[in-house]
Structure 1
Amino acid sequence: MSTAQQVPDILSPEFAANPYPAYRVMRESAPLIHHEATQSWIVSRYEDVERVFKDRAGQFTTENYDWQIEPVHGRTILQLSGREHAVRRALVAPAFRGAELQEKFLPVIERNSRELIDAFRHTGRADLVADYATRFPVNVIADMLGLDKADHDRFHGWYTSVIAFLGNLSGDPGVAEAGARTRVEFAEYMFPIIRERREKPGDDLLSSLCAAEVDGVRMSDEDIKAFCSLLLAAGGETTDKAIASIFANLLAHPEQLAAVREDRSLIPRAFAETLRYTPPVHMIMRQTAADVELSGGTVPAGATVTCLIGAANRDGNRYREPDRFDIFRDDLTTTTAFSAAADHLAFALGRHFCVGALLAKAEVETGVGQLLDAMPDLRPADGFEVVEQGVFTRGPRSLPVRFTPRAA
């Protein structure tokens, strides 16, 4: 077992500026670190993170979410296990896969993307973060739920507070208070709408959640509110950063951008490689149910384990030239990249694999395709260099681009 002093601390400015050199040191010489400030055990190798996520032996739980996410969301599906988890997942999953996603919500995705692009396609310039990525997934989720998109700024403010709370590794009391306040405000906003949909259901996801029933079990108002809160935060933040990162990576590799522009069937490859190379979520935590042997030592029972997805996805024992962005690599399987059989770790694995993975794929394929149609000669603004920000979640701070203006 290694000590945190051997590598840059995950709370340090050096780590926040660029975590990848620290990830390399961790994987090679400090694969298991006890981090005093967060009272957690940090793991960074692919084999260890994969083992934690798949958890075939029942050694890792999500009990850490009792203190990590319940204060801002309420009790969510992520905290459940066994039959209770299976039933709740069966209640929400149909909207995020298959025919319902394609027939009911793909038009919603296409419309929201087009509306955002129409606002700047004629100008010849845009910031793909501020003008598109931060707005697109939140608008889609609000539209899917049948909420008023005019409340976008409130939704964005709420999910920003939630993500800040989840990434509050230093324990800033102001961030904690803002997160707790968000839970109250979101509940006050959602409960009247949920009651209305129960009485007068519409053709939207929120109405479907109100009516869904599996094995005689239905979701309570609190269940639905907590799921919507989780959906806005997790679906907004991750897709936001994924779309920005795809373009940041492609703009840094013009030959690959040209290939995607010519062959849109490569968009899933670009997405999968971005999830591996610059994942939106860099850390996911679990809690041990018993003493567990991992690379570098033993983690005691009842301990929090911080899984570094950003480190594991660049493990040279799993991927060749892991620090190279390559949408054509043959050691990343695109056909399974958006399922529980994925070989990258950005969506987690096992029973808690991201339920919204296919929604994210649909959003990315639509959004990237429409953006390339609107900006065929897309290029970075003069002198611009990508600066990533975030530790728990991470993505480009801004992405100003130029292109030839085009009419809608």
Structure 2
Amino acid sequence: MSAVDEVPDILSPEFAADPYSAYRMMRENAPLIRHEATRSWIISRYEDVERVFKDKASEFTTDNYDWQIEPVHGKTILQLSGREHSVRRALVAPAFRGKELQETFVPVIERNARELIDTFRGTGEVDLVDAFATRFPVNVIADMLGLDKSDHAKFHGWYTTVIAFLGNLAGDPDIAAAGERTRVEFAEYMLPVIQERRLAPGDDLLSSLCAAEVDGVRMSDEDIKAFCSLLLAAGGETTDKAIAALFANLLAHPEQLAAVQKDRTLIDRAFAETLRYTPPVHMIMRQTAADVTVSGGTIPAGATVTCLIGSANRDEQRYADPDTFNIFREDLTATNAFSAAADHLAFALGRHFCVGALLARAEVQIGVGQLLDAMPDVRLKDGATVGEQGVFTRGPDSVPVVFTPVA
């Protein structure tokens, strides 16, 4: 039996139950795997995944997004390159950094965290996934865009369907059809709202996107709709899972939880280590523009490459004691963790580094801080266990906690 044959298949229940053991086997014995079911080449070592993400389109492209993302979102900035990409990114990026983020959207984040926590503040018991994590980022994004938060169920349903489509590695036709229906439904919802904002702009992000202009270029209604769809899915799913995983990790390490409770500046470290140790997104795909040699062999031109972030972030060649959660580790820099200079791969790197990284950081800082204020002695409910679910994206499905309500 070859080393490849010994590694659990990424579509198997065994892999879904414990991908980290499989990742270790891949890194050590099969760093390049041809996976027939997904018609892709799988890479698992940090140095190889980092190389793919940092590439400037000479060897690796995002052409795979034409079939992987466009059917559910429409054409997004992720698929663009060169000047077209840089101009589109310049149109949307200002809202997610600096003065506009701090002055316009931090109050939105604070308000949404407080409103959700108020629903369970006095109960002494809550499932942080159901009551907070799955709701908080979607409510924030809807509020930022100036959408009706009473449509939360629609937004959550759409982004859940989109994430299922993106993670449909087995090619289930029902999941594919549901994803394509979501694109139609979201367009029917968003395009009239976009047209209204063009006629009567407000002080929300959607109005800003409608008015944004760089080098004489403005975003079309379709551009804005596709970006909003991407923002809801990427921003909702990833921050949802990151907050749940951060609490799960801290609850499993009470001494680190106590340190964060005492010193809130450590929330950044806890978030950065969570992104490394249990990242919300475990896989990102790219496409080769030429034959490329990586650890374990050569990938032919025109091939899909599955980059295993969940594996790379636990690479023994990159991190000391990588299977241990440690917010104080010296080989991960919290000050760089939310920038293109990050020394983890959860936000990707290079020109397609996550445009919403600083928004996610603000949501986690504020949301986690308010939760700790409301639950100073938070602990896992007696008898409860926290497990992860998912393959493409992954996180806890439940984090039941108890606490003494604060007067």
Q: TM-score range by the shorter chain?
A: over 0.9
The offset of 1:405, in angstroms, is 2.0
Q: Write out aligned runs for 1:258-269 (5 A).
A: 258-269=258-269
TM-score by structure 1 length?
Answer: 0.99
Q: Is the 8 A contact 2:56 2:351 kept in 1?
A: no
Shift of residue 4, structure 1, vs aligned partner: 4.2
Q: Which runs of 5+ in 2 are unaligned?
A: none
Cα deviation for residue 346 of structure 1 reads 0.1
Q: Match of 1:299, as an amino acid?
A: I
SS at 1:307's partner residue? strand
Give the structure 2 partner of residue 301 of structure 1.
301
The whole-number CA distance in structure 2 between the counterparts of 1:119 and 1:180 is 35
Aligned to 1:319: 319
Aligned letter for 2:79? Q
Q: Which residue of 1 aligns with 2:13?
A: 13
Decide whether the 8 Å contact of 2:290 with 2:302 is kept in 1.
yes
Q: Contact (CA 8 Å) 2:11, 2:169: kept in 1 or not?
A: yes
Q: Determine helix, strand or coil for the equivalent of 1:193.
A: helix
Output the CA distance in 1 between the equivalents of 2:372 and 2:202: 34
Q: CA RMSD in A?
A: 0.8
Secondary structure of residue in 2 paired with 1:114: helix
Do 2:271 and 2:364's aligned partners in 1 also have CA atoms closer than 8 Å? yes
Q: Distance in 1 between matches of 2:6 and 2:70?
A: 33
Q: Conserved in 2, the CA contact under 8 Å of 1:4 and 1:35?
A: no
Matches of 2:74 and 2:351, distance apart in 1: 20
Find the residue that maps to 2:305 and give its secondary structure.
strand
C-alpha deviations, 1:215-238, integer Å up to 9, x for none? 000000000000000000000000
How far off its partner does 1:3 sit? 6.9
Q: Residues of 2 paired with 1:5 and 1:215: CA distance?
A: 53
Q: How does 1:157-172 map to 2 (within 5 A)?
A: 157-172=157-172
Amino acid at match of 2:46: Y
> What's the counterpart of residue 390 of structure 2?
390
C-alpha displacement at 1:364, in angstroms?
0.1
* SS of residue paired to 2:361: helix
Q: Deviations over 1:7-56 (max 9, x none)?
A: 00000000001100000000000000000000000000000000000014
Equivalent-residue separation in structure 2 for 1:104 and 1:23 (angstroms): 41
Looking at structure 2, the residues matched to 334 and 75 of structure 1 have their Cα atoms a distance apart, in angstroms, of 33
Q: Which residue type is aligned with residue 44 of structure 1?
A: S
Q: Aligned pair 1:108/2:108, yes or no?
A: yes
Shift of 1:144: 0.1
Aligned partner of 1:151 in structure 2 is: 151
Within 5 A, what are the aligned runs for 1:82-93?
82-93=82-93
1-side partners of 2:117 and 2:343: how far apart? 33
Please say if 1:31 is aligned against 2:31: yes
Paired position in structure 2 for 1:231: 231
Q: Is the 8 A contact 1:4 1:34 kept in 2?
A: no
Amino acid in the other structure paired with 1:353? F
CA-to-aligned-CA distance 1:291-335 (integer Å, 9 cap, x gap): 000000000000000000000000010000000000000000111
Residue deviations 1:370-401 (CA, integer Å, cap 9, x gap): 00000001000111111100000000010000
Give the match for residue 363 of structure 2: 363
Distance, in Å, in 2 between the alignment partners of 1:4 and 1:143 is 47
Q: Which moved more, 1:272-281 or 1:3-12?
A: 3-12
Cα contact 1:245–1:274 (8 A) shared by 2: yes
**Is the Cα–Cα contact under 8 Å of residues 6 and 30 in structure 1 kept in the other structure?**
no
How many angstroms apart in 1 are the aligned matches of 2:240 and 2:4? 31
* Counterpart position of 2:349: 349
The 2-side partners of 1:324 and 1:392 are apart by 22
- Counterpart CA distance in 1 for 2:147 and 2:137 is 13
CA distance in 1: counterparts of 2:395 and 2:349, whole angstroms: 22
Shift, 1:66, TM fit:
0.2
- 1: CA distance, partners of 2:129 / 2:66: 32
CA–CA separation in structure 2 for the residues paired with 1:371 and 1:33? 42
SS of residue in 2 equivalent to 1:325: coil
Q: Where in structure 2 are the equivalents of 1:76-87 lying within 5 Å?
A: 76-87=76-87
Instruction: Find out whether 1:252 has 2:246 as its counterpart.
Output: no
SS in 1 for 2:384: coil
Contact 2:4 2:29 in 1 (8 A): no
Evaluate the alpha carbon distance shift between residue 340 and residue 224 of structure 1 in structure 2; reply closer, same or farther with a 3 A threshold: same
Give the Cα–Cα distance (whole angstroms) in 2 for the partners of residues 233 and 57 of structure 1.
Answer: 25
Q: Is the 8 A contact 1:61 1:288 kept in 2?
A: yes
Alignment correspondent of 2:212: 212
C-alpha distance in 1 between matches for 2:339 and 2:39: 32
The structural deviation recorded for 1:6 is: 2.8
Q: Which amino acid aligns with 1:386?
A: V
Distance 2:298 2:312 in 1: 19
Equivalent position SS for 1:126: strand
Q: Alpha-carbon deviation of 1:67?
A: 0.2
Query: Percent identity between the aligned chains?
Result: 82
Extract structure 1 runs of 4+ deviating beyond 4 A: none
Deviation per residue, 1:265-307 (Å, 9 max, x gap): 0000000000000000000000000000000000000000000
Distance 2:58 2:233 in 1: 28
In 2, the alpha carbon distance for the partners of 1:6 and 1:70 equals 35
Q: CA separation in 2, counterparts of 1:174 and 1:128?
A: 30
- Counterpart CA distance in 1 for 2:377 and 2:111 is 23
Letter in 2 for 1:381: K
Q: Normalising by the residue count of structure 2, what TM-score does the alignment of the two structures yield?
A: 0.99
Taking a change above 3 Å as real, the CA distance of residues 365 and 21 of structure 1, as seen in their structure-2 partners, is: same
Q: Retained in 1: the 8 A contact 2:276–2:344?
A: yes
Counterpart-to-counterpart distance in 1, 2:294 and 2:237? 30
**What do residues 92-150 of structure 1 show as CA deviations (whole Å, max 9, x unaligned)?**
00000000000000000000000000000100010000000000000000000000000
Judging changes above 3 Å, is the alpha-carbon distance between structure 1 residues 3 and 180 closer, same or farther for their aligned structure 2 residues? farther
